[in-house]
Amino acid sequence: MESATQTRRKTGRPRSFDRDAALHAAMLTFWRHGYESTSVADLTAAMGITPPSLYGAFGDKKRLFRETVGLYLSAEPPEPAIAAASSAREAAQRLLTASAEGVTGDNTPTGCLLATSALSCSTAAADVQAEIAAIRHGIEAALRARIQTDIDDGTLPDDTDADALAGHMMAMTQGLSTLARDGASREKLLRVVAQAMKAWP
């Protein structure tokens, strides 16, 4: 029969912090500084936990970052929004509008978590950069497929380049993030979005 002490050793001490709140704090820290520029010390200070608690609850910095990216994307998942749109134009407008609003949030850092982290990655964090690129490629693929559907059914001209148009919209999201980091207001970014949509075929 196991003693109470043995049972405690197997189960471990109960977590003494709010994991969801800590994850949210980590997301904001990565968002503000980028993946590679954020240290474990930065994270533990923001999360209000010790390094052993971070490693115990989240594994390591890289796995923690992956969780924060999941949290970031869960607020407004791009692919389902694209699929639910009534047209490719609506999908693109929603994507750009959500980007403009997301990079100028009232209670979040300016810019995009993915863009900020990807741009600050050196070759030492090439795997993280590749993961971010894969996420963006997935969003672009969803938009490209939606555009192709509209080409096939005649909503868009048959000479529309679905790949180039989807790439242009993704480039716009990156540009919106950069403008926000440079201090552009939400109102300006929404005007930029409106101007970009005037070029829609």
pLDDT, one tens digit per residue, over 34-87 is 999 999 999 999 999 999 999 999 999 999 999 999 999 998 899 999 999 999
Higher-pLDDT residue of 11 and 193 is 193
User: Where do the structural domains in the chain lie, given as residue ranges?
Assistant: 19-69, 76-199
Confidence of residue 16 (pLDDT cuts 50, 70, 90): confident
Q: Mean pLDDT of all residues in the chain?
A: 92
Residues in Cβ contact with 100 at an 8 Å cutoff, skipping those fewer than 6 apart: 176, 186, 189, 190, 192, 193
Nearest one of 93, 89, 94, 92 to 156, comparing CA atoms: 89
Architecture field, domain 76-199: Orthogonal Bundle (1.10)
Separation of alpha carbons 36 and 124, rounded Å: 9
CATH number of the domain located at residue range(s) 19-69 in this protein: 1.10.10.60
User: Please, which pLDDT band fits residue 124 given cuts at 50, 70 and 90?
Assistant: confident
pLDDT on residue 8: 44
Query: Could you report the per-residue pLDDT of 161-193, keeping only the tens digit for each?
Result: 999 999 999 999 999 999 999 999 999 999 999
In contact, 92 and 160? CB cutoff 8 Å: no
Q: Give the pLDDT confidence score for residue 14 in this predicted structure.
A: 54
Distance CA 31, CA 110 (A): 8
